[in-house]
Amino acid sequence: MSPSPKTKKILFWFGLSLPMVALLAMAWLVHQTGGRFNSSFTYVMQNYKVLDIFEQTQGQIVDAEAGQRGYLLTGRPEYLEPYQRAMQSIRTDLASLKKLTSSDPVQQANLAALTKMVDEELVFDPNSVPHLGNAANDASVVALTARGKEKLEHIRSVLFQALEEQQQALSKHQQQAEEDVVSTQVMSLTLITAVAMALILVVVILLRLERLQEFVTVCAWTGQVQYQGQWLRLDEYLKQQFGVSVSHSLSQDAANKMMREIEELNRSQKPPPPAA
């Protein structure tokens, strides 16, 4: 069954509008994908920077504890310079970490705990804290060394927890980014398919319009149509060329003409009245 002219018109405008809508959707999708890519890139780089600063802070804490323990054991001032330099780096790193993880309440809590442990375990006043110096013996050295290891273990536990949570957040974000890429690819494929279907529909409509624009030779006497070297009746031509099914009826003029012819035929065949 051939579609009606109204349906053809709807399909025509639908075929013209669908590619435009699909192109706009693809432009929006490219814009959104670019924004998500930039956001993901920034997030990943920030996470790697946070992990790097955590590793750096861990090394600085070890240096600060070693300088503190060396001064407490010997009382030599040369241990204070590396200690103070390490403590300054630790404070700078902690400030940077707090700024970089300002939107992460879990890491803010870890950094608060780490800052508190650094202040309690590593901060000391060389002028007010006695050192062993020449009075150092094996027992005091062992005790002070064990205390230093205990400090480092406590601080490292907090650092390890912070590093693990940061790595989990990075892994989760990377998984979400991969899912976004897959969904973007599916949406792009759907839009490309829609554009291809719309273009095919437009081509089909244009081909049918081109067929409609061809010249048709009609017999002036019989009304037959010349098609591919044959003379066909109009209904046969419409069926072969356009797939149109034709039904037959009578126009009002033809019906009136037929009635007049029947009446004239009846009058001509009516016998004359008998003579008087």
137 and 79: one domain?
Answer: yes
**Residues across the chain:** 276
Domain around 47: 5-208
Point out the domain boundary residue: 170, 188, 208. Answer: 208
Burial class (CB in 10 A: 0-12, 13-18, 19+), 162: buried
57 and 188: one domain?
Answer: yes
Opening angle at CA 206, ends 234 and 244, nearest 5:
25
192 and 146: one domain?
Answer: yes
249 and 191: one domain?
Answer: no
Per-residue pLDDT of 79-137, as tens digits, reads 889 989 999 999 999 999 999 889 889 889 989 999 998 888 888 877 776 655 555 55
* pLDDT band at residue 1 using 50, 70 and 90 as cut-offs: very low
142 and 52: one domain?
Answer: yes
269 and 161: one domain?
Answer: no
Per-residue pLDDT of 184-202, as tens digits, reads 777 777 777 777 777 777 7
163/107 Cα distance (integer angstroms): 9
51 and 166: one domain?
Answer: yes
